[in-house]
Structure 1
Amino acid sequence: MASIESLKQQFKGDIVTPQDSDYEQSLDRWAANSRRAAAVVAFVKDAEDVALAIKYARDAGLRIAIRGGGHSAAGSSSCEGGVVIDLSRHLNSVRVDPDEKLIYVQGGAQWKSVDHAAIKHGLAGVAGTVNHTGVGGLAVGGGYGWLSGSHGLVIDNTLTVVTADGSILTANETENPDLFWGVRGGGSNFGVVTEFVFKLHPQRPKVFAGPVIFSPEKSEEIAAFLDDWWPKVKPEEGMLIVMMRGPDGNPLILSFVFFNGTEEEGRTAYKKLFDIGPVADHATEIPYEELNNLTNPLAEWGCNYYFKGTPLSGKPSEDLNKQKLADIMAIASSPDHIAAVLLEYFPHNKINSAPVNSAPYRRDLNGNILVLVQWRNNTQEKEAKAKEIAHALTDILPKGEGYGNYTPESDALPTAGAVTADKTKALFREHYPRLQTIKKKYDPLMMFNQWYTIIPE
């Protein structure tokens, strides 16, 4: 019989239960509505601690959640009455090898640490666009960022992982290559990644980037610019287009522009966009390490969130036009919620040039749309309204299975003891049978089931 006292005696890190003074704090998450009352929070110090926590959960018949950065809107880093394996307290360091252009990143680190450590050596890696996102969850789900146009996805820049699934394994192209293949896009289905080794690339110290705000009547002109720019986008470019209401409740189009070069080069690349006439232009040269905090205001820690993801259309003007904007604003009218539709224009030529079978991740997407709903002071009514808004917005957007890291809880998690396999199959498509084989080998008991859960073959 599993004993918490026995676990504590062997454990190097910290075991927190409801009787401890720091228990409530240990449950805090980026999305306040994803907070769950765990039975045990295990702040692991190393891979051996992870293996001990997994064994305890298995013997006690408890569910497992893995917490890296705690940035899941779906609640996948929390579990009610289960065991949370939390890497954030002790396994959060990064180490750069500038000669080999590699960075060793522990599973509980945030992307901010990666950005700041690497740029000190004139280097950078592909990272998320919100710098307090955890490295682990984003990395195993795919990983888009401003540098994806030049260097692909995070999973395309992952060289080695160390996982714990009860045993401790190093996985790369030569050691446990099946596990290495599965974890690069297959999410948290196979174990807990305690360390990543990522490739780094030479990076200039400053880039041209920032928010540029337009009034809604400019939608057709912005769409025309995008229709011309997007098919011939360069690797060093990228944009986010956000349709939302401003603090005064009025509709606006918020564009985040990026050019991996000087302000002069950036303004030349986006001249036709700037010529449309923004109401505010905050784009300028900024230190590279500030790039990934530009969108942080849309992702404030401690608010409540609901996400939905869907793919971009083939042509930007299908997603951004006068009628679409009007429909979005009509739905996004709740005074208690901030609702935004984000169109992600990260160049995909490099991403989609990777061989189809190099990882269990789609290589035919044009880009992604994120529907984000944020609210404060959660109630059941507000949460229900947020889901209603998100689904209504998604209904008027392109159909299809979106980016896995944008999925909501109701679409992917096990419910009433059953797993929503259809969503998982739709995400992984032709890769699903191979993932089932790997799941059977490394997690036949389905202990890791908090994301798009793969059912063993």
Structure 2
Amino acid sequence: MASFEDFKQQFKGDIVTQHDPTYQQALDRWAANSRRDAAVVAFVKDAEDVALAIKYARAAGLRIAIRGGGHSAAGASSSEGGLVIDLSRYLNNARVDPDKKLIYVEGGAPWKAVDHAAIKHGLAGVGGTVNHTGVGGLTVGGGYGWLSGSHGLVIDNTVQLTVVTADGSILTANETENSDLFWGVRGGGSNFGVVTEFVFKLHTQRAKVFAGPVMFSPDKCEQIAAFLDNWWPKAKPEEGMIVVMLRGPDGTPLILTFIFYNGSEEEGLKAYKELLDIGPFVNQAAEVPYEELNNMTASNPLAEWGANYYYKGVPLPQKPSDDLNPKKFNEILKHTSSPDHVFGVLLEFLPHNKINSVPADAAPFRRDLSGNTLILIQWKDDTPEKSLKAKEMAHAIASLLPTGEGYGNYTPESDALPTARAVTADKTKALFREHYPKLQAIKKKYDPDMVFNQWYTIIPA
């Protein structure tokens, strides 16, 4: 491809540069601090557009980022001075085949599109817990959701992918066709290409579920932990809970539990009776339409679009009270007194028996975790000082919690972007462990020049 003009002529979608009035809008991201001033934003209309954008970027020496939902707090969907392949404007639909219980989802769709399309047929797929998260990034990183207890990870329910690779090839990847690529993308992140379509299994789903936020004052900490210690080892596939240590808007410490039961209100009240008997000061758990489930968490102030965010993921402890106890909560509070920052320590209790029953070599994703903890710091009006303070807070909290590589989609920025090759390789090896050599071989085959390098970059073999 000789020139930018040639690229523009062949490209069917929209190309936005710094000279266009919609440029700032084209850089919009969930985490405002993950915005980067791209040289070119290419809003693709199809896989052929993606191939053209890759070829142009490589010829022009522009670093490529892929934007699906734009939800990466680490900035993986942005590229300073590079080219962004943005799937969100045109490739954002979901189409259901109710007879085969499959859903065909374009690479720029948010989970809201999946939830709403599937439930019309009495079906649902495993999806994220926040419905404005993009399907693409969450899936290629593994993908946990409220239905994981029953149906596993998103990657365990992925049956086919359409992937545009570094040389511009448009490939179908499934168990029988380009099966190595299919294996690598399901957990190996954005290392191998741009996924323009996902095909997921759907499952029969009741129209309403029992869910909602239940809030407690911190003096109930020990009682909540005792409930969790008893409940968690035998939690049913239909159940799930996220427990958050945080401060309220006025700085008052509190414990928020978001409870889920894939059943009726009667069943849900029975499942969580011992928790509710502790005496919350707010209880909004109720029977809600399934498609509203992930909207409830999406409208939480800690998930607000356009604020600044810093993430750090660590493993969930084997015993909930190891992390949720008055002593540790008080230590966390000492590190989170900044008036400019809001924090949440989210303990995700999504039953893992189904997830961990999948053979370890089925995909490059860990099958030995009991769950994930997310340290989330949010702030407004970004400055270098506030950004540094957020990182310091997150790492101080992490020092109080279990050590080890957390969920890859919860990576902080410093872990995601490639620096020295040795450092990148160390971080990536820690995430992928025994799967790393196989991923290196797949990387060498499909992306030997490391064109895709925005998330736990795999060094080709």
> Aligned pair 1:99/2:103, yes or no?
no
Unaligned runs of 5+ in 1: none
- TM-superposed CA distance for 1:332, in Å, is 1.4
Residue equivalent to 1:120: 120
What does residue 79 of structure 1 align with? 79
Equivalent residue runs for 1:56-75 within 5 Å: 56-75=56-75
Q: Deviations over 1:379-438 (max 9, x none)?
A: 111101111111111111100100000001101211267751111000000000000000
Instruction: Measure the CA separation in 2 of the matches of 1:28 and 1:417.
Output: 30
Q: What residue is the counterpart of 1:383 in the other structure? A: 387
TM-aligned CA deviation for residue 453 of structure 1 = 0.3
* Equivalent AA in structure 1 for residue 396 of structure 2: A
Q: Please give the per-residue CA displacement for 1:299-329, whole angstroms capped at 9, x wherever unaligned.
A: 1000000000000111000010010111111
RMSD, aligned CA: 0.9
Counterpart of 2:297 (choices 268, 271, 295) is 295
2:45 is matched with 45
SS at match of 1:187: helix
* Aligned partners of 1:111 and 1:134 also within 8 Å: yes
Name the CA shift for 1:95/1:51 in 2 (closer, same or farther; >3 Å): same
Distance 2:366 2:3 in 1: 43
Indicate the SS of the match to 2:191.
coil
State TM-score, norm by structure 1. Answer: 0.99
Q: Is the CA contact 1:94–1:103 (under 8 Å) kept in the aligned structure 2?
A: yes
Does the CA-based 8 Å contact 2:221-2:325 persist in structure 1? yes
Residue 28 (structure 1) shift: 0.8
- Alignment match of 1:202 (pick from 201, 204, 209): 204
- Asked if 2 retains the 8 angstrom alpha-carbon contact of 1:13 and 1:43, the reply is yes
Q: 2:111 touches 2:135 (CA, 8 Å); kept in 1? A: yes
Which residue in the other structure is 2:184 paired with?
Answer: 182
Aligned partner of residue 333 in structure 1, secondary structure: coil
**C-alpha contact 2:345 2:375 (8 A) present in aligned 1:** yes
Number of aligned positions between the proteins: 457
Q: Distance in 2 between matches of 1:373 and 1:186?
A: 26
Q: Deviations over 1:186-235 (max 9, x none)?
A: 00000000000000000000000000000001000000000000000000
Q: Structure 2: which amino acid aligns with 1:439?
A: K
Q: Which residue of 2 aligns with 1:355?
A: 359
Q: Of 409, 416, 424, which aligns to 1:412?
A: 416
Alignment-mate amino acid for residue 133 of structure 2: T
Matched, 1:399 2:403: yes
Verify the 8 A CA contact 1:244 1:332 in the aligned structure 2.
no
Distance 1:116-1:378 versus aligned 2 partners, 3 A rule: same
Cα displacement (A) at 1:4: 1.0
8 Å CA contact 1:332, 1:340 repeated in 2: no
TM-score (norm 2): 0.98
Q: Give the stretch that moved more between structures: 229-238 or 414-423.
A: 414-423
SS in 1 for 2:190: coil
Q: Determine which of 345, 355, 360 is the counterpart of 1:341.
A: 345
1:449 to 443, 450, 453: 453
The percent identity for this pair of structures is 77
Tell me if the contact between 2:76 and 2:416 (Cα under 8 Å) persists in the aligned partners: no
Query: 2: distance between equivalents of 1:419 and 1:177?
Result: 30
Say if 2:251 is the partner of 1:272: no
What is the rounded CA distance, in whole Å, between the counterparts of 2:219 and 2:330 in structure 1? 10
Residue 369 of structure 1 is matched in structure 2 by 373
Superposed, 1:304-343 pairs within 5 Å as 304-343=308-347
Task: Give the 3-state SS of the residue equivalent to 1:449 in structure 2.
Answer: coil
